Amino acid sequence: MNSILKIKDVISFLDSFAPRSYQESYDNSGLITGDTDTAVRGILVTLDSTEAVVDEAILSHCNLIIAHHPIVFKGLKKLTGSHYVERVVIKAIKNDIAIYAIHTNLDNVHTGVNRKICEKIGLSSLRILSPRNDTLSKLVVFVPLENTDRVLSSLYAAGAGKIGRYNDCSFQVEGTGTFVPGDNAQPYVGKRSEKESVQENRIEILFPSFLQSAILEALRRAHPYEEVAYYITLLANENQDVGAGMTGELAAPMEPLAFLTGLKKSMKLKVIRHTNLLEAPVRKVAFCGGSGSFLLNKAIDAGAQIFITSDFRYHDFFDADGRIVIADIGHYESEVFTKDLIADVLMKKFPTFAIIFAKSVTNPISYL
């Protein structure tokens, strides 16, 4: 990396940690304001971009704000300062401050928001609650026998061949490839205009679809043929590393009241809205940062005794129906430790660069 850290360097790293292709269709993750070629003077990490946060960035000489929630969800038709969103954008632009949001893509990766909270409340054996089924592709390629290991090593290094907890996964079957090099060809084996037969391995390997360009580059770099025979198929398979919510297990079963009391302490909560407690002890817990009511049935099907999330409406609580405990801990409260996650990953990548936490409490809800 160059000695001068630019905004595009930070964005490139964050996009590799939580690819923007994993965000939900309604979301607006990515760079909201700013020039990617600008040198970074300082990074301010926050849950929300507010006017107070932009003021903090100015005072702290930070020209890059990394926020979980995008300040702009819908298109802005004017910038007159009549609304807080417009005022934030205007102030950021006037002061040359870039705002980058890493939202549902950070929610949906298995190393993201939900894992951070599950680990904080002491859960293990973590699994995605609702895996996505639109994020994987399969590469089929034909390789001479003697070049198989080299090609596979290159594909593995580029990110292919991972299935759940297993790495370097592939399938191979041996067969015969035939071809006739053209007049202008530079064949690896055989002669121009003469039919050639080669013993080849048919390799099948899975990869995250967003890595397709990198996978093909790695393939062409390692493959000996002038023209590589391959095809790619988008799969409907569930991706165990990408999706909404997460489940985990407690080290030992706990009574529901004792668990909620501990949850309130570990998450620094002022209040928990919950349904009637069950008699069965809590062994398995489901969690979703932010608005997670849409995952209630998934949590029940997963065998969880309690589902922790936020933004349940009054009538939605009835849907627990004695099958699970719903624990609504508040939207801000369920995601506030996302700031720690973002700062941690940034400091590991850029250890000599100052990462500052915003001091402003951006929770729009107050409690008496």
Q: What is the DSSP letter of 99?
A: E
Cβ(130)–Cβ(295) below 8 Å: yes
Choose among 207, 224, 219, 204: nearest CA to 153. Answer: 219
Check pLDDT > 60 for residue 1: no
Choose among 306, 138, 311, 349: nearest CA to 235. Answer: 138
Encode pLDDT of 268-312 as tens digits: 999 999 999 999 999 999 999 999 999 999 999 999 999 999 999
Q: How far apart are CA 84 and CA 243, in angstroms?
A: 31
Cβ(90)–Cβ(54) below 8 Å: no
Encode pLDDT of 201-228 as tens digits: 999 999 999 999 999 999 999 999 999 9
Please give the distance of CA 299 from its chain centroid, rounded to a whole number. 20
User: Which run of H or E residues covers position 176?
Assistant: strand 171-179
Residues 6 or more apart whose CB falls under 8 angstroms from that of 205 comprise: 138, 139, 141, 152, 155, 160, 161, 169, 170, 171
The pTM assigned to this predicted structure is 0.90
Check pLDDT > 50 for residue 196: yes
Encode pLDDT of 8-60 as tens digits: 999 999 999 999 999 999 999 999 999 999 999 999 999 999 999 999 999 99
Residues 6 or more apart whose CB falls under 8 angstroms from that of 17 comprise: 109, 111, 345
What HEC string does 31-95 produce? Answer: EEECCCCCECCCEEEECCCCHHHHHHHHHCCCCEEEECCCCCCCCCCCCCCCCHHHHHHHHHHHC
Cβ(207)–Cβ(139) below 8 Å: yes
Compute, in degrees rounded to 10, the torsion defined by CA atoms 57, 61, 64, 65: -20
Look at residue 74 in the predicted model and tell me its pLDDT: 83
